[in-house]
């Protein structure tokens, strides 16, 4: 399990402290299915189901793609791409020679961005993984039409063998198209919302194609979810959920997720969706933001230290870097850094993190540290399960349904009307 | 000039509206040098100075690097990399065959990130541009030591010809090293802070190496700064500054910078430093955040629509995309998109933006649109000048010194002490 350290937040708590009784109730509601939106809590046993289900097909499809193609175009938006993109950047920041290029399309409407993706793709052999529960979401639907045409132009009748559809198991436009054309299909489970779907085929197929050991991810996730069922204030998910709700009640309206690994950048985007979409409703919710450290100490650092005292800083910390990197000694010490020569950069980074933590606490920013053993498949799985469970508990504690997203419809209705979609 | 449209914010104004008299005074203080931190307002005439100064040397150095190297490692943190990185992603999202790979290092302390950069560099011929006013900032100093060693290992005595130092004109560790070693030097002007330095050699050299027409940038910036001297509420910088300060006074503590071009992502990071570091002090300041649209409508969209009504949404909009992209017609209309066939994706995107704007306003989010004619050198220059002038005015209106960053020192002091730096 990940470890949560609240010592840097304690000075900002009321004497009563975080409400673990409320966390316990929220956890019960989640597990017993007595909370709002309980029809979307299938992610609680998703890794176990997929292991006994389609994991083999996912691995086989990934192997097929890796062996014949130099690129995979992943078409999806929101929960249909953020998790996989976050995982791939975190775990495979530099692709190996054998890894197909992973291109994410259909997550916007910019003609320039789509043109750029097609240019990057070049004349590589490629496959497409289209990910959409319904098939009617505009952005991926448009991109998918474009790439279907590119596939037909390139492969003719064999194009259909290059399409993998991750969609509803039975209904919807995309499923109908897949059945009619004979595309290989994977399932977006009915009881799992988009932002909780990274450990389904939605996330696992692109991750596997990128060279991530998704079997290790799934195995570890099964263990983590078991461990996170702990009903006690020792549960890190209770700690995180209860602490942030407590701080929110004391005027802390913005949470900054920070990490000292630049490869974490897109995991923070995944986290923003998870928390922002789950909790931001009914006029309440902590605003989820992120910084990359130490880079952003030289940009947002000033605000964090001296701006309004409305922030919570949550640091995701990996216990061990992947690589040793001792700082070289240099004759003559022209830059005055020889006092660090021979020290490992990882240790210097850890020291900097300590210094930042104490500076920010002194400056009036409560600090939560989430420690993950390693930046690998196990660490990724642990982090995902932790954040998902904690988010559901936190959402219930705040009184919202953490599994719906009624506000997402407003612009869509406007848009389809303005575009003249038949029937609007 | 860029155009500012406040019509989507007007419903959220007091009857009195934005305080243009205060904007006028702030502008006067800025231009007359009577405001706080006036010793750092040299950016107001920086483009003109550089055009008559070192622009030729910058172009010559860039040409030399482009002709002999396959990569440029840019070493810098904060204002010493965000502007160039933002510009390159915005203007050269897909490098051409002739463009050297631009790698940004020294903006963090992660040993894994540094290892990744070195792996990406591979055995390419490369040059280094180290950017630091003093040479003592830890992150770039460490990376620079590492890359100096790599250069010596690769080029021996000729290594010195592969180093370009952008630093103080006369003093500091980096300048001393450069003089001793004979590296070619460029100047970080004394009267320009890091976050306002993108139109000096700090930003222009990496941009030129990446293939950006920096002469066009500089020429346009000269014109823009002249135009932005307009002393009237017609000035878009007044409009933006006064509107956001007015909204901040009415409980809007978070500003989300949004753009429908994914290539804008790092410009938003540049903007966050500019505004966060200029305004976040003395316990006040708008929190600068960003979203990428339409992608983040499917993640942060729920929060924006239905969360706490503390947001301002500012949309950067490019009038024309670079590429036409008509949606293909498809026989049988399997996905039901033929009602859009033949329409250009750029128009569909613009329609979506209209729909989003009205949905967010209805949901209680004031909307400001900043329109830029084109996503090219001229558009970039216009945007940079606009944001810089508006930031200074906005900072003065809020009563702070927009040119200092006292809070950035706190963690550095802790860090150097913990690291055992001699003399701490």
What confidence tens digit (pLDDT) does each residue in B113-126 have? Answer: 999 999 999 999 99
Q: Which two tokens stand for residue A328?
A: 């070289």
Q: Do B330 and A148 touch (CB under 8 A)?
A: yes
**Chain A nearest CA to B208, separation (Å):** 21
Any long-range contacts for B51-60 (C-beta under 8 Å, 24+ apart)? B51/B218, B51/B219, B51/B222, B54/B186, B54/B187, B54/B201, B55/B204, B55/B214, B55/B215, B55/B218, B57/B184, B57/B186, B58/B186, B58/B201, B58/B204, B58/B205, B58/B208, B58/B214, B59/B208, B59/B214, B59/B215
C-alpha–C-alpha distance, residues B240 and B369, integer Å: 9
Beta strands in A331-374 (DSSP E): 367-374
**Region B106-119: what's the mean pLDDT?**
98
pTM of the model: 0.98
C-alpha–C-alpha distance, residues A373 and B24, integer Å: 55
Q: Which of B142, B352, B405 sits opposite A302 (nearest CB)?
A: B405
**Which residues of B are identified as catalytic?**
277, 298, 412
**Chain B nearest CA to A213, separation (Å):** 19
Q: Which of B93, B335, B349 sits opposite A177 (nearest CB)?
A: B335
**Region A186-198: what's the mean pLDDT?**
98
Q: How far is CA A230 from the centre of its chain?
A: 23
pLDDT tens digits, B36-66: 999 999 999 999 999 999 999 999 999 999 9
Chain A positions touching B418 (Cβ under 8 A) are 351, 354-355
Percent of residues, chain A, with pLDDT higher than 70? 100
Strands A254-259 and A287-292: parallel
Report the first-to-last Cα separation within chain A, whole angstroms: 48
Chain B, nearest residue to A418 by Cα: B351
Report pLDDT for A409: 87
Q: Which two tokens stand for residue A200?
A: 């389904």
C-alpha–C-alpha distance, residues B424 and B411, integer Å: 13
Q: Residue B71 pairs with which residues in a beta bridge?
A: B101, B126
Instruction: Please provide the average confidence, as pLDDT, over all residues in chain B.
Output: 97
> ipTM for the complex?
0.97
Q: Residue B317 pairs with which residues in a beta bridge?
A: B371
Q: Do A335 and B284 touch (CB under 8 A)?
A: no
**Chain A nearest CA to B285, separation (Å):** 6
pLDDT tens digits, B317-367: 999 999 999 999 999 999 999 999 999 999 999 999 999 999 999 999 999
CA nearest neighbour of A184 among A85, A65, A289, A95: A65
Q: Which of A110, A146, A273, A408 to mutate to test the interface with B (most CBs of B within 10 A)?
A: A110
Report pLDDT for B424: 85
Report pLDDT for B92: 97
Is A424's pLDDT higher than 90? no
Q: Which of A308, A411, A418, A422 to mutate to test the interface with B (most CBs of B within 10 A)?
A: A411
**Region B156-175: what's the mean pLDDT?**
98
**Region B184-207: what's the mean pLDDT?**
98
Report pLDDT for B409: 87
Chain B positions touching A138 (Cβ under 8 A) are 348, 352
Question: What's chain A's Rg over C-alpha atoms?
Answer: 23
Within 10 angstroms of residue A155's Cβ, the number of other Cβ atoms is 14
Q: Which of A292, A351, A415 sits opposite B355 (nearest CB)?
A: A415
C-alpha–C-alpha distance, residues A399 and A390, integer Å: 14
Report pLDDT for B347: 97
Q: Which of A113, A351, A354 sits opposite B262 (nearest CB)?
A: A113
Tokens 């990376």 belong to residue: B143
Q: Do B110 and A321 touch (CB under 8 A)?
A: yes
Chain B positions touching A175 (Cβ under 8 A) are none
Instruction: Please provide the average confidence, as pLDDT, over all residues in chain A.
Output: 97
Percent of residues, chain B, with pLDDT higher than 70? 100
Report pLDDT for B344: 98
pLDDT tens digits, A307-350: 999 999 999 999 999 999 999 999 999 999 999 999 999 999 99
């Amino acid at each position: 399990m990940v470890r949560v350290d609240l010592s840097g937040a304690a000075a900002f708590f009321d004497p009563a402290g975080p409400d673990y009784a409320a966390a316990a109730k929220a956890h019960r509601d989640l597990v017993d299915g007595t909370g709002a939106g309980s029809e979307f809590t299938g992610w609680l046993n998703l890794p176990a189901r997929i292991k006994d289900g389609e994991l083999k097909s996912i691995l086989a499809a990934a192997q097929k793609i890796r062996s014949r193609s130099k690129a995979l175009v992943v078409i999806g938006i929101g929960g249909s791409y953020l998790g996989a993109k976050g995982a791939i950047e975190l775990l495979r920041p530099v692709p190996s020679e054998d890894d197909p290029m992973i291109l994410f399309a259909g997550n916007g409407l910019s003609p320039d961005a789509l043109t750029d993706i097609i240019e990057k793709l070049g004349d590589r052999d490629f496959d497409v993984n289209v990910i959409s529960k319904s098939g009617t979401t505009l952005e991926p639907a448009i991109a998918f039409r474009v790439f279907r045409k590119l596939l037909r132009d390139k492969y003719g009748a064999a194009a259909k063998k290059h399409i993998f559809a991750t969609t509803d198991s039975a209904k919807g436009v995309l499923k109908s198209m897949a059945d009619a054309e004979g595309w290989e299909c994977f399932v977006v489970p009915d009881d799992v919302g988009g932002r909780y779907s990274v450990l389904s085929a939605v996330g696992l197929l692109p991750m596997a194609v990128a060279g991530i050991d998704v079997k290790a991810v799934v195995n570890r996730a099964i263990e983590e979810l078991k461990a996170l069922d702990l009903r006690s204030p020792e549960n890190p998910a209770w700690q995180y959920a209860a602490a942030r709700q407590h701080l929110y009640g004391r005027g802390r309206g913005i949470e900054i997720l920070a990490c000292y690994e630049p490869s974490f950048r897109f995991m923070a985007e995944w986290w923003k969706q998870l928390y922002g979409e789950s909790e931001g409703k009914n006029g309440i919710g902590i605003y989820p933001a992120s910084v990359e450290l130490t880079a952003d100490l030289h940009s947002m650092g000033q605000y964090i230290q001296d701006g309004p005292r409305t922030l919570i800083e949550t640091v995701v910390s990996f216990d061990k870097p992947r690589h040793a990197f001792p700082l070289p000694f240099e004759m003559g010490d022209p830059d005055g850094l020889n006092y660090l020569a021979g020290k490992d950069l990882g240790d210097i980074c850890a020291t900097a993190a300590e210094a930042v933590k104490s500076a920010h606490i002194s400056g009036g920013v409560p600090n939560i540290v989430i420690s993950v053993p390693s930046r690998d498949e196990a660490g990724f799985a642990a982090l995902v399960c932790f954040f998902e469970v904690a988010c559901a508990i936190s959402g219930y504690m705040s009184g919202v349904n953490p599994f719906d997203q009624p506000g997402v419809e407003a612009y869509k209705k406007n848009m389809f009307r303005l575009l003249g979609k038949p029937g609007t």
